[in-house]
Structure 1
Amino acid sequence: MIYLIYVILAVLVVLCSTKLSAYVDALDKKTNLSGAFLGGVLLAAVTSLPELFTSLTAVLSLDEPQLVQGNVLGSNIFNLCIPAVLVLSFNKRYRQSRIAQSHYNTLYFGLAMYVCCALAIVSPFSVSLGFTQVNLMTPVIIVLYVIGIRLMKNDDSVEQEEESNLDLSIRQIMVRFVLFSLALVAVSIALTQVTDRIADALQLGTTVAGAIFLGVATSLPELSASVSLVRLNNFNASIGNVVGSNLFNFTILCFADLLYQKASIYILDGATLFASQVGNLLLFGLLSSIIMIVVLAARKSKAAVQIAAVLILASYVASIMLSM
Structure 2
Amino acid sequence: MIYALYLVLAVLVVFLSVRLSYYVDCLDKKTNLSGAFIGGVMLAAVTSLPELFTSLTAVLALDQPNLVQGNVLGSNIFNLCVIAGILLFASKKYQNAVLAKSHRTTLIYGILMYVIIFLGIFIPKEIGLGIINVNFASILILAVYLLNVKFMKHDESAQSEDDEDIRLTTGQIMVRFVLFAIALVAVSILLTQVTDRIAEELQLGATVAGAIFLGVATSLPELSASINLVRIGNFNASFGNIVGSNLFNFIILSFADILYVKGGIYVKEGSVLNLLLFGVFSMFMTLGIIRFKKNRAAVLLCSILVLASYVTSIVLSM
Same fold (TM over 0.5): yes
Whether the 8 Å CA contact 1:14–1:220 is kept in 2: the answer is: yes
The two structures have a TM-score, normalised by structure 2, of 0.98
Given candidates 306, 312, 319, the residue that maps to 2:313 is 319
Q: Which residue of 1 aligns with 2:11?
A: 11
* Cα displacement string for residues 122-163 of structure 1 (whole angstroms, at most 9, x for unaligned residues): 111101112310111110110000000000001000111113
2:269 is the counterpart of 1:283: no
User: 1:302-313 counterparts in 2 under 5 A?
Assistant: 302-313=296-307
Q: Which residue of 2 aligns with 1:222?
A: 222
In the TM superposition, what is the alpha-carbon distance from 1:166 to its structure 2 partner?
4.3
Q: Which amino acid aligns with 1:157?
A: S
Q: Which runs of 5+ in 1 are unaligned?
A: none
Q: Which amino acid aligns with 1:251?
A: I
Whether the 8 Å CA contact 1:29–1:160 is kept in 2: the answer is: no
User: 1:147-158 counterparts in 2 under 5 A?
Assistant: 147-158=147-158
User: 1:157-196 counterparts in 2 under 5 A?
Assistant: 157-164=157-164, 166-196=166-196
Which stretch has the larger CA shift, 252-261 or 85-94? Answer: 85-94
Whether the 8 Å CA contact 2:36–2:159 is kept in 1: the answer is: no
The two structures have a TM-score, normalised by structure 1, of 0.97
User: 1:1-324 counterparts in 2 under 5 A?
Assistant: 1-164=1-164, 166-268=166-268, 271=269, 276-324=270-318
Separation in structure 1 between the aligned mates of residue 164 and residue 11 of structure 2, nearest angstrom? 26
Whether the 8 Å CA contact 2:35–2:158 is kept in 1: the answer is: yes
Q: Which amino acid aligns with 1:306?
A: L
Whether the 8 Å CA contact 2:29–2:166 is kept in 1: the answer is: no
Whether the 8 Å CA contact 1:29–1:161 is kept in 2: the answer is: no
Q: Which amino acid aligns with 1:319?
A: S
Instruction: Name the SS of the counterpart of 1:90 in structure 2.
Output: helix
Separation in structure 2 between the aligned mates of residue 94 and residue 170 of structure 1, nearest angstrom? 33
Q: Which amino acid aligns with 1:141?
A: I
Q: Which amino acid aligns with 1:185?
A: V
The share of aligned pairs that are identical, in percent, is: 61
Separation in structure 2 between the aligned mates of residue 90 and residue 197 of structure 1, nearest angstrom? 38
Q: Which amino acid aligns with 1:177?
A: F
Instruction: Name the SS of the counterpart of 2:28 in structure 1.
Output: helix
Instruction: Name the SS of the counterpart of 2:134 in structure 1.
Output: strand
Q: Which amino acid aligns with 2:228?
A: S
In the TM superposition, what is the alpha-carbon distance from 1:164 to its structure 2 partner?
3.2
Instruction: Name the SS of the counterpart of 2:127 in structure 1.
Output: strand
- 4+ runs deviating over 4 angstroms: none
In the TM superposition, what is the alpha-carbon distance from 1:198 to its structure 2 partner?
0.1
* Cα displacement string for residues 255-276 of structure 1 (whole angstroms, at most 9, x for unaligned residues): 00000011110123xx4xxxx1
In the TM superposition, what is the alpha-carbon distance from 1:165 to its structure 2 partner?
6.0
In the TM superposition, what is the alpha-carbon distance from 1:26 to its structure 2 partner?
1.9
Separation in structure 1 between the aligned mates of residue 27 and residue 298 of structure 2, nearest angstrom? 35
Instruction: Name the SS of the counterpart of 1:160 in structure 2.
Output: coil
Q: Which amino acid aligns with 1:43?
A: L
Instruction: Name the SS of the counterpart of 2:130 in structure 1.
Output: coil
Instruction: Name the SS of the counterpart of 1:128 in structure 2.
Output: strand
Separation in structure 1 between the aligned mates of residue 132 and residue 96 of structure 2, nearest angstrom? 50
Whether the 8 Å CA contact 1:44–1:244 is kept in 2: the answer is: yes
Structure 2 vs 1, CA of residues 207 and 105 (structure 1 numbering), >3 Å: closer, same or farther? Answer: same
Q: Which runs of 5+ in 2 are unaligned?
A: none
Separation in structure 1 between the aligned mates of residue 176 and residue 95 of structure 2, nearest angstrom? 35
Whether the 8 Å CA contact 1:30–1:164 is kept in 2: the answer is: no
* Cα displacement string for residues 16-58 of structure 1 (whole angstroms, at most 9, x for unaligned residues): 0111111112222222110100100000000000000000000
